[in-house]
Amino acid sequence: MSSLERVMFRYKRIIPKFDDFLRCMKTPLPRTVRINTLKADSEEILQSLSEHGVIFKTFNWYEYGLRLLNVSSPGNLIEYFLGYIHTQEEVSMIPPIVLEPKPGELILDMCAAPGSKATQISQIMCNTGHVIANDVDLRRISMLKSNYERLGVLNMSITVYDGRKFPNIPFDKILVDAPCSCEGIYRKNPSVFDNWSLKVIKNLSRLQKRLLSRAIQIAKRGGTVVYSTCTFSPEENEAVIDYVLSIYEGMIKLEEIKLDLEYCSGIKEWNGIKFNDEISLCARFYPHLNDTGGLFVAKIRKI
């Protein structure tokens, strides 16, 4: 049994069309990029790509997402160096859209490096308001800085806090794209299973609960917190959301996720543990449903 099959077998009863899922996980990811309208308008960027022989297809659910059909290394394109495009996996573009940042707002990306989602938030906000891009890992901060400079982001500051201890600043919206076991990126990086274990998952779950709790504490009343991971593990997904629904009962509620993509609802039970009924409002994006990586996302409103 391969490492993929060994790890994924624990999810067989919760993943629909499991055999299709396994087959998809063994295939390479499509090459995808995000059009960056902070540097040029979409038409100009698409024209430039076409003139350089790039064949592409626009996402049917997000006008700034592209699949590149004849390019193996998007990072080598002149449009990448100019900041016209940014290499980003398709489901990675979902959390900032679910967050719905508005121009003029104060936004925190709590675990931001290397910056794909943070710079997408800046793009959605048209370089207005302010984005705090935070990460505890100094080694990754340089990548974050490089990306926001290349992409023409002007409304961003970088901080280096442990998200569990982020200062008491009231934010309109917060993204917690939490550190996780990364099972959903196997198609891009099969080595993610080299150090996989249930102990690692349990340790990550404890960290995720504290990160999300802190985000809820510092979000404004009426504000939004989006929680996302690129893993399938219920311990890191539904169990984390169930935890904060219990701890902050009456203070938060989950909201429905509306995207023109196929996904499954959050599961209501795992290993004999029943979750809050609201968990069904969470979304699980599986690779075989849209030919992507894996993603879990939840949208939380602070009442």
pLDDT for residue 203? 98
Q: Would you call the peptide bond into 114 cis, given omega within 30 degrees of 0 as the criterion?
A: yes
pLDDT for residue 153? 98
Question: How many whole angstroms separate alpha carbon 170 and alpha carbon 147?
Answer: 26
| Cα 167-171-177 angle, rounded to 5 deg | 85
pLDDT for residue 96? 98
Residues 6+ apart with CB under 8 A from 203: none
The pair of three-digit structure tokens given for residue 283, joined into one six-digit string: 């979304």
Helix (H, G, I), strand (E, B) or coil at 178: coil
Q: How many CA atoms lie within 13 A of 49 on its CB side?
A: 30
Active site residue 282: no
| Residue of 303, 291, 257 lying closest to 89 (CA atoms) | 291
Q: In Å, what is the CA distance from 210 to each residue of 85, 88, 167, 219, 278?
A: 34, 27, 14, 14, 20
Helix (H, G, I), strand (E, B) or coil at 46: helix
User: In this structure, what DSSP letter does residue 74 have?
Assistant: G
pLDDT for residue 2? 86
Of residues 24, 111, 182, 230, which has the active-site annotation? 230
Q: Which residue has the tokens 């539904």?
A: 238
Q: Provide the sign of the torsion angle of the four alpha carbons 22, 26, 31, 36, taken in this order.
A: positive
Residues (pLDDT < 70) of the chain are none
